Amino acid sequence: MKTLKEKILKLKKEKNAIILAHYYQEPAIQEIADYVGDSLGLSQEAAKAKAAIILFAGVHFMAETAKILNPNKKVILPDLKAGCSLAESCPPHIFKKFIDAHPNHIVITYVNCSAEIKALSHIVCTSSNAVKIVESVPEKIPIIFAPDKNLGNYINQKTGRKMVLWDGSCVVHEAFSLDKLIALHKKHPEAKIIAHPESETHILATASYIGSTSEMIDYVKTSPYNKFIIATEAGILFKAQQEVPEKVLIPAPSYEDNTCACSECGFMKMNTLQKVYDCLLNESPEIIVPNDIRKKALVPIERMLELSK
Ligand code: SF4
């Protein structure tokens, strides 16, 4: 009898589908994916996808981005309820008023937002290319940055810009406990703390290295150090550990005393192997983006992809 993984792989071939998975997906899903990456890598893969169906193992805004880039392909998401607290912290009608209150500003939005928000933006960015994209805007032009205030603060510090920030954040990256992190570091003083820029400023202040999920994995791979405390969603540990089986990777602790003593994204973990199978079998739930919004949202995404080459 075939295992669920084997059934998914067979179905994937029969249906000419590809599976794109985010680093925060559960290991079993990462194992059957054609590509595992962060938001930038996933957008780039989606842009060059040749398959008829893209199954996006991630959250809703990621699948939406894939659909915006591939209007003629079927994009499916295993669980339509897999949202994102950061994307939800930026409702389009209120954001539109915010833009109107800041005339002449360029609007740069982090990819973790809805298609409607992208449609209101000049350029989209990810945590991998955010600094580069902000620096591509001449200094005299003021910028609105949304929706993540922590990433925005980090970019302001790095670039010396004074971008106007939308007050949004990610529940997962704001769940790290500084006290527990310091106590953990005392137990492992030789470990390097590395953090995602969506984390709060006081967590970033403890880090020896700050970078996107892909950059964090590269850092762990190439760094001469052997032990790391990692402040981002704990799913990244699976891929990172595969790359460096000999190194010790410890998830940064969250306030909550959960089973893994780390910070996990409940939205990302809504996708399961069974749901991936069902989704592929039924070619549903499908992601639909209204054409007028899709066309407007495509422009800032393409600008990002062009600037990231
Ligand atoms: S980790 Fe945070 S930003 Fe990423 S999908 Fe989950 S809620 Fe959204």
Residue identifier of the C-alpha nearest atom 2 of ligand 1: 170
Element housing 36 (H / E): strand 35-37
Domains of the chain, start order: 4-82+268-288 (3.40.50.10800), 86-170+294-307 (3.40.50.10800), 178-251 (3.40.50.10800)
Closest residue by CA, ligand 1 atom 8: 84
* Token pair of 71 as six digits: 């209007």
Let me know the angle formed at the C-alpha of 151 by 221 and 138, rounded to the nearest 5 degrees.
105
What spacing in Å lies between the alpha carbon of 69 and ligand 1's midpoint?
21
125 is in an annotated binding site: no
Q: Is 170 annotated as a binding residue?
A: yes
pLDDT of res. 262: 61
Per-residue pLDDT at 254: 87
From 267, 269, 270, 271, give the residue whose CB has the most ligand 1 atoms within 8 Å, as the site to mutate.
267
Number of the ligand 1 atom closest to the C-alpha atom of 198: 3
Return the pLDDT at 282. Answer: 98
3-state secondary structure of 72: coil
Cβ pair 173, 263 in contact under 8 A: yes
The tens place of each residue's pLDDT in the chain, 309 residues long, gives 889 999 999 999 999 999 999 999 999 999 999 999 988 889 889 889 899 999 999 999 999 999 999 999 999 999 999 999 999 999 999 999 999 999 999 999 999 999 999 999 999 999 999 999 999 999 999 999 999 999 999 999 999 999 999 999 998 888 899 999 999 999 999 999 999 999 999 999 999 999 999 999 999 999 999 999 999 988 899 989 999 999 999 999 988 765 555 688 999 999 999 999 999 999 999 999 999 999 999 999 999 999 988
Residue 257 pLDDT? 65
d(CA 121, CA 99): 9
Q: 231, 195 in Cβ contact below 8 A? A: yes
Torsion sign over Cα 85, 38, 271, 229: negative
Task: State whether the beta carbon of 25 lies less than 6 angstroms from ligand 1.
Answer: no
Does 22 carry a binding-site annotation? yes
Contacts of 43 (CB under 8 A, 6+ apart): 65, 66, 69, 111, 126, 301, 304, 305
Backbone angles phi, psi at 141, to 5 degrees: -90, 120
**What was the pLDDT predicted at 47?**
87
Residue with tokens 């909550």: 256
Predicted pLDDT of residue 260: 54
Neighbours of 225 (CB within 10 A): 15
Give yes or no for residue 117 CB within 6 A of ligand 1. no
In this structure, which residue's CA is closest to atom 6 in ligand 1?
A: 265
Pocket test for ligand 1, best of 77, 111, 172 (most atoms within 8 A of CB): 172
**Per-residue pLDDT at 308:** 86
For the Cβ of 112 lying below 6 angstroms from any atom of ligand 1, the answer is yes
272 in Cβ contact with 94 (< 8 Å): no
Q: How far apart are CA 132 and CA 135, in angstroms?
A: 5
Helix (H, G, I), strand (E, B) or coil at 190: coil
For ligand 1, is residue 268 a contact (CB within 6 Å)?
yes
